[in-house]
Amino acid sequence: MNHGPLIFLGIFLALAASWYGTVVAPLLQFGHQQQVTVGAGSTRYPAARSGQAQRGKDVYRANGCFYCHTSQVRQSGVKFDVVLVSAGTNKAGLISAALLIKPGITADEARKLIEQTPKPLLQGVTRPEADAAAKTLAIPDVKFEIILVPVGGDVERGWGSRVSVAQDYLYEQPLMLGNQRIGPDLTTIGARQRSAASHLLHLYNPQMTVKGSTMPPYRFLFEKRKAGPRPSPDALQLPAEYAVEKGFEIVPTEKAQALVAYLLSLDTQLALFEAPMPTAPKQPELGASTNQTSAAAFTNTAAANQPAPK
Amino acid sequence: MAVMFLFSSALIWLVIGIVLGLISSIKLHGPGFLSQLSWLTYGRVYPASQNAVVYGFSAQALLGIALWLIARLGRVSLQGPGMIVVGGVFWNFAIAMGLVGILTGNSTGYEWLEMPRSASSLLFFSYALIGVWALITFHMRRERQLYVSQWYLLAALLWFPWSYSTAQLLLVVSPVQGVMQAIVNGWFVHNLFEVWFSFLGLAGVFYFIPKIIGQPLHSRYLALFAFWMLAFFGSWGGVYADAPVPKWVSSLSIATRVMMLIPMLAIGLNIQSTLSAHCAILKTNMVLRFVWVGAISYLLATLLGIVGALRSVSEVTLFTLYTNAITNLQLYGFLGMVVAGGIYYIVPRLTECDWPSTGLIRFHFSTATLGVALLVLPQLIGGVLQGIKLNDPQVPFLSVVKSTIPFLGMSTLGELLLLVGNLALLVNLLKILPACCTCCLGRVSNSTPQPKAVAVGGRI
């Protein structure tokens, strides 16, 4: 019995099927995503990176930071906040509504609650609860918003405010999501730590800035050189016990500067249609028609993502 | 000769790979270790070690076993041994280039495809050289009846060039956009491990076990059934549950991953039924022991992979050491042990010499088995604990880091044991080479596989 050709054909089919299903089909579906405009239509997302930050990404790749750091936020679900934006004129009606929504409180507390706006009435409730509250609050003149809040370990650790989606990675080349969290997620590190100087100190010697850190030091991205009559402006401000000998200073190389520029560029996560996130409640005078009767139209500034005009 | 060349250079890469792995492993609990040298920073040594073990050792040694099996089962001599040696030289050259590239910071940034483009093109070219002569040998076979192992081998020979070239084209040559890169990368890695390596390794398992116990495989049909299941479902996965891609892509991955339970059970049952009446041989025959541990590691790794892919489990285990544990179980537990068994079985038949030291073989077996256990178990347990803590925002990040350190320490120890064990194999091999130089050159250069009376299996 000679099955050679049969095996050959079968294998070909099997490979072709998986190749089509996992490579070609997704490629056809979303291999050509585009920049979108979010918010009022003026912000394009994602933005392309500046030259220095892009070079910094190269340093990130060359030194394999992604073997310890992920660049992807996960979320386990969403909760809702009900925020009072403007109390309006019908105070009595609002107080009784507040008592209904929050059964545990006294009338006095309810009065205090609505004194200042914007004020969260309910936090972290489920969708049906938020909807019920919306019905109760449907009093003419009272303005409130229902805000969607992503939840999950990553979000609570402050690694991001929403789940990462395909749109976020449009311009990543190469894409380095990482698959180990030996260190924290870096999706929004530029927003968490805005100081370039702190980043440089941390890279120079993580154990110096974070006791017990297991991140390797990147001293080879720095140069030790003779200090001139005046210390150079970008020399590291080392604490006394880590200082180098007198007359010398540690300065970051171009690579270190670029790497930090890259880290600082990781600071935006905008609300997208497929990944909404909380936006600060609008001030009453700005809020146009926020009197919503259902949570169906929850705050999501990007509800109408449009492909950006070319 | 060709096969011996592949074996010896594979072992050298294994030792290099484990040494690099040991360095990276130490760095995880002692970040100051060798930290002045840019080319030895964690983010470079770690991928270098992985690439050395995967392409330098596993792939090369398995190709050696595959060539021998194809010739043996087809009752022909290996065709084009000269070209295969040339291919092997290029292969090793490509890996050396690739590792230097990674260590000097020229990695591509894609997992398991880190070698820079020049190295990967050369790798592909040398694979083609070896693969073509393997296919020609297969075609020239005198024994037309195909044994199960040949199915697996034939599939494997074709699988690698397709998935490797697709991945290279879509990631390195003309890169696809955004998250498509993650999908292609995941698809490649999954195919590399779940299909290519599985096929090569299982071909060995299905050959050596029946051969050594002198009984036919329990069920040929069960093995072929597993073959088709692996081919059709094994190749789909690779995208983890929470990947930032449309849900259907990851769901498809998970669903096909769960289907892998079926071939896994079929393979397990088949091996179990073949062996059950002959467990006594396990006590005396070292080759069988190696292959047996390899087979068990395969089943375990597959099972852990399936469990880890489920959405609810993946919520905890994703991004933790759990992932490393599975990879290490596949690399050192499954492939490492099957290859070692294969080398212990094949080399005496090629060189007509006995292994100089059976003590070293026993020593290798104990250290390697213990090493795999010490490497994998702590990562498994530590990974799950790490995942639980990571998901609890009340636990400060640094204490998550600290809690993994004892587990990482144990893994380092496991890696050290693996190094010692495999050095024993290398020493044994280096001893056998000069002793048999005459016969190597005289007879093996035409690699006529002759059924030899030297019952290595029986004696060691």
The nearest alpha carbon in chain A to B178 belongs to A170
Q: Do the domain assignments include residue A37? A: no
pLDDT of residue B7: 95
> Are A64 and B184 a contacting pair at CB < 8 A?
no
The residue from A132, A151, A170 where one domain ends is A151
Question: Could you tell me which residues come within 8 angstroms of residue A93 by beta carbon, excluding any fewer than 6 positions away?
Answer: A139, A142
Tokens 């109408």, residue?
A: A304
Residues A49 and A184 in one domain: yes
| Closest residue on chain A to B142 (Cα) | A2
pLDDT, averaged across chain A: 83
With 0-12 / 13-18 / 19 or more C-beta atoms within 10 angstroms meaning exposed / middle / buried, residue A29 is middle
Question: Residue A177 domain-assigned?
Answer: yes
CATH number at residue A187: 1.10.760.10
Q: Is the pLDDT of residue A138 over 90?
A: no
User: A136 with A273, same domain?
Assistant: no
Q: Which of A43-47, B66-70, B156-160 has the lowest mean pLDDT?
A: A43-47
Question: To which H or E segment does residue B374 belong?
Answer: helix B358-390
Confidence tier at A48 by pLDDT (50, 70, 90): confident
Please return the burial class of A25, using the count of CB atoms within 10 Å of its CB with bins 0-12, 13-18 and 19+.
middle
The residue ranking higher by pLDDT, B101 or A9, is B101
Residue B329 and residue B339: Cα distance in Å, rounded? 14
* Boundary (domain end) residue, out of A117, A151, A185: A151
Q: How far apart are CA B302 and CA B321, in angstroms?
A: 16
A90 pLDDT tier (thresholds 50, 70, 90): confident
- In this complex, do A67 and B46 lie within 8 Å of one another by their Cβ atoms? yes
Q: What is the mean pLDDT of chain B?
A: 91
Task: Please write the tens of the pLDDT for every residue from B424-439.
Answer: 999 999 888 876 665 5
The arithmetic mean of pLDDT across residues A266-272, rounded, is 82
Same domain, A234 and A87: no
Residue B309 reports pLDDT greater than 60:
yes
Query: A191 with A220, same domain?
Result: yes
Q: What pLDDT does A27 receive?
A: 87
Domain contains A7: no
The pLDDT of residue B135 is: 93
Could you tell me if B345 and B213 are in contact, meaning their C-beta atoms sit under 8 angstroms apart?
no
Torsion over CA of B385, B387, B389 and B394, rounded to 10 degrees? Answer: -170
Beta bridge partners of A249: A225
What are the beta bridge partners of residue A77? A151
As given in the structure block, the two tokens for residue B402 are 């600290």
Residue of B159, B184, B323 with shortest CB distance to A23: B184
> Considering the domain boundaries, does residue A107 fall inside one?
yes
Whether residue A280 is found in the same domain as residue A261: yes
Whether residue A261 is found in the same domain as residue A144: no
Banded pLDDT at B447 (limits 50, 70, 90)? very low
Residues A107 and A186 in one domain: no
Average pLDDT of the residues in B121-150:
93
Among B113-127, B288-302, B434-448, the range scoring the smallest mean pLDDT is: B434-448
pLDDT at position B131 over 80: yes
Q: Check: CB of residue A177 under 8 Å from CB of residue A72.
A: yes
pLDDT beyond 60 at B333 = yes
Q: Say if the Cβ atoms of A213 and B31 lie within 8 Å.
A: yes
Identify whether A23 is part of a domain: no
The pLDDT score that the predictor gives to residue A173 is 87
- Choose one of A151, A175, A200: the last residue of a domain: A151
Ranking A305-309, B93-97, B194-198, B361-365 by mean pLDDT, the lowest is: A305-309
CATH 1.20.210.10 fits B2-437, yes or no: yes
**Cβ contact, residue pair B320, A181, below 8 Å:** yes
Instruction: Give the confidence band of A298 by pLDDT, cuts at 50, 70, 90.
Output: very low
- Of the pLDDT bands very low, low, confident and very high (cuts 50, 70, 90), residue B144 is confident
Q: Is B40's Cβ below 8 Å from some Cβ in A?
A: no
Are both A106 and A163 inside the same structural domain?
A: no
To the nearest whole angstrom, how far is the Cα of A272 from the nearest Cα of chain B?
13
Q: What is the domain count for chain A? A: 2
Which residues in chain B are contacts of A72 at CB distance < 8 A? Answer: 242-244
Contact by Cβ (8 Å): B115, B171: no
Of A42-46, B132-136, B345-349, the range with the lowest mean pLDDT is: A42-46
**Domain membership of residue A127 as a residue range:** 77-151
Within an 8 Å CB–CB cutoff, is residue B396 touching chain A?
no
**Per residue in B243-298, pLDDT tens?**
898 888 999 999 999 999 999 999 999 999 999 888 888 888 999 999 999 999 99
For the sheet with A77-86, list strands across it: A119-125, A77-86, A143-151
Q: B32 versus B103: which is more confidently predicted?
A: B103
Return the H-helix or E-strand segment holding B103. helix B81-103
What average pLDDT does range A293-302 have in this prediction? 36
B171/A174 touch (CB, cutoff 8 Å), yes or no: yes
Q: What is residue A286's predicted lDDT score, i.e. its pLDDT?
A: 34
Instruction: State the pLDDT at residue A295.
Output: 35
Residue A83 located in a structural domain: yes
Residues 6+ apart with CB under 8 A from B221: none
Express each pLDDT in A172-189 by its tens digit.
Answer: 889 999 999 999 999 999
Best probe of the A interface among B135, B177, B229, B407, by most A CBs < 10 A, is B177
Crossing angle for the helix pair A4-19 and B220-233, to the nearest 10 degrees: 30
B161 reaches A (C-beta below 8 A): no
| Contact pairs from chain A to chain B, CB under 8 Å | 209
If asked whether residues A243 and A200 sit together in one domain, one would say: yes
Residue B14: its pLDDT value, please? 96
Per-residue pLDDT, A279 = 62
Confidence (pLDDT) at B46: 96
pLDDT digits (tens, 9 = 90+) for B355-394: 988 899 999 999 999 999 999 999 999 999 999 999 999 9
* CA-closest candidate to residue B364, choices B309, B420, B323: B420
Average pLDDT over residues A17-31: 86
In chain B, the residue whose alpha carbon lies closest to the alpha carbon of A154 is B391
- What gap in Å lies between CA B250 and CA B254, rounded to an integer? 6
Taking an 8 Å cut-off on Cβ atoms, the answer to whether B401 and A206 are in contact is no
pTM for the structure as a whole: 0.90
Q: Is the dihedral of CA B167, A12, B225, B280 positive or negative?
A: negative
Say if residue B181's pLDDT is above 80: yes
Q: Provide ipTM, 2 decimals.
A: 0.90
Domain assignment present for A125: yes
Q: Is B245 on the interface with A (CB under 8 A)?
A: yes
Q: Which residues in chain A have Cβ-Cβ distances shorter than 8 Å to B393? A: 153, 156-157
Q: How far is A64 from chain B (nearest CA, A)?
A: 4
Chain B residue with the nearest C-alpha to that of A9: B155
**Which among A11, A22, A152 is the nearest to B238, CB-wise?**
A22
- Give the pLDDT mean for A38-57: 83
Looking up residue A81, the CATH number of its domain turns out to be 3.30.1390.10
A254 and A224 share a domain? yes
The DSSP symbol for A244 reads P
Give the residue with greater pLDDT, A89 vs A299.
A89
For A117-122, what is the mean pLDDT?
85
Task: Please report the pLDDT score of residue B396 as a whole number.
Answer: 94
Q: Examine the domain organization and report whether A59 and A199 are in the same domain.
A: yes
Residues A48 and A162 in one domain: yes
Flag whether A276 is in a domain. yes
Identify the pLDDT of residue B436. 65
- Pick the closest to residue B271 from B288, B292, B251, B243 (CA basis): B292
CA distances from A234 to A27, A56, A231, B49 (A): 45, 17, 8, 36
User: By percentage, how much of chain B surpasses pLDDT 70?
Assistant: 94
**Which of A235-244, B91-100, B158-167 shows the highest mean pLDDT?**
B91-100
